[in-house]
Amino acid sequence: MIIGVPKEIKNNENRVALTPAGAKELVKRGHSVFVQHTAGEGSGFSDDQYTEAGAAILPTIEDVYGIAEMIMKVKEPIEPEYKLIKEDQLLFTYFHFASYEPLTKAMVASKSICLAYETVEKTDRSLPLLVPMSEVAGRMAIQKGANYLEKPLGGRGILLGGVPGTLPAKVLILGGGVVGTQAAWMAAGLGADVTIMDVSLPRMRYLADVMPANVKTMMSNEYNIRDMIKDADLIVGAVLIPGAKAPHLITRDMLADMKKGAVLVDVAVDQGGCIETCKPTTHENPTYVIDDVVHYCVANMPGAVPYTSTLALTNATLPYAIQLADKGWKRAAQENFELVPGLNVIHGDIVYKAVADAFNMDYVPVEKYLAD
């Protein structure tokens, strides 16, 4: 298979979808890998490292899209890329379709095959290609939140862990999944007073068992959220409904009850956000203020630590990429059921129900394309 790795063009996105080590593994199996000039530089990988691994370097993004049968990316294609995508081309990347209708319609119109990292799913319902970036984003949420709690950046001027004789900051985490768990570990390690809210009692029992004493659990419902936000200094939105738009757990009117200079970090922003006042921001302009509450809503948080993120992501994606390259997307999905829910759009049909439902578009069961 001919595999193309374009340079990411989303604002301040420095990750790359394939490391030189990954390129070497694909080339060893007889595949051709074409990498756009400087695609890996943001993550610390030079063109020379790719050529030494057996990949070829192409000068432009048009060249990469033009030659490739499978495109490997990190973030969803953005508008300048729409016209480059060809019919029958396989795109293997994060899409988060349910949060952005124009992207969905563009991919439907392209008649390409869109296999989304974030909805590849194991039999235990875990999301193996979302986990590594969720781990990074969860940890970063606390790092960034602690930073923006500083007074010069608009925050309350509170140190997350406090010092002897002063109380630590109160951190509220909405969601006890991978993002929420990683955020809780980081906040707890810095000495904060942490509360995780979730709707699953088994999950909260697990968290209560493994977390340190400064982490508490609480049932997530509107009454409890309204009560808890009054005292919170930092709130992390860590809610995920796979492939679907995130629900709004903090609504516009709730901001009036929050402390002046409190910080909201919405990690769910690329799925529409679980905070109603959330809108996607960039690393260039990461925050804005509404009702004296600082909002940090960067849609590609792991892009700020591209070396770590690229290695973590490709560790997870490469085994699937090898299957797709060796067998083609159809046979790979027939033989590995984990790939089936990753298929979101095929030849102009939406085959992932949550995406079709998000925009009241027609849904076609994926089995139509996987039947022999």
Reference 181, options 127, 141, 122, 224; nearest CA is: 141
User: Active-site positions?
Assistant: 96, 270
CB atoms within 10 A of CB 187: 33
Question: Which contacts qualify for 38-44: CB closer than 8 Å, 24 or more apart?
Answer: 38/7, 39/5, 39/6, 39/7, 39/8, 40/16, 40/310, 42/8, 42/13, 42/14, 42/15, 42/16, 42/306, 43/14, 43/15, 43/16, 43/19, 43/306, 43/307, 43/309, 43/310, 44/306, 44/307
Report which of 107, 92, 90, 13 is spatially closest to residue 300, judged by C-alpha positions: 13
- Contact at 8 Å (CB) between 237 and 268? yes
Rg (CA), the chain: 21
